[in-house]
Amino acid sequence: MNVKFDAPLPDGWFYSNAEESDLRHTELLRELAAGHPLFGTDVDVVAHREGTDDILCRHHADPDRLTVVHLTWRGGPEIAPRFPINECDGTIQDFYNYERRFGIEC
């Protein structure tokens, strides 16, 4: 599902079209194991970072909540529930602050 929200994305991030979103969402679901913070949580992949395996997820239950996840592309559930790694979790402002730590324009 391609879910766009009214917020500019930081440099290097792009809204995912329906095909990109579905591909990344499928991989996210493959990687999530019981114990991971997103396991059993309904999210949509709304954007991805160019040149990395980072995706931006928007939560169904709280559309103002975003999570940046670094996919591993393992193709199956991760053994350790800390993978795939949640890089950032919070509001759009939290996301911008996270990106600014790396000197990225928001």
pLDDT at 4: 54
Predicted structure pTM score: 0.92
The string of pLDDT tens digits covering residues 39-79 is 999 999 999 999 999 999 999 999 999 999 999 998 888 88
Residues 8-20 have pLDDT tens digits of 999 999 999 999 9
Q: Look at the block and give the residue holding tokens 């809204």.
A: 15
* One-character DSSP codes across 32-49: --TTSTTTT--EEEEEEE
Domains of the chain, by residue range, sit at 13-100
Tokens of 34: 């019981």
How many angstroms separate the CA atoms of 68 and 87, rounded?
5
Reading the block at residue 86, the tokens are 């949640």
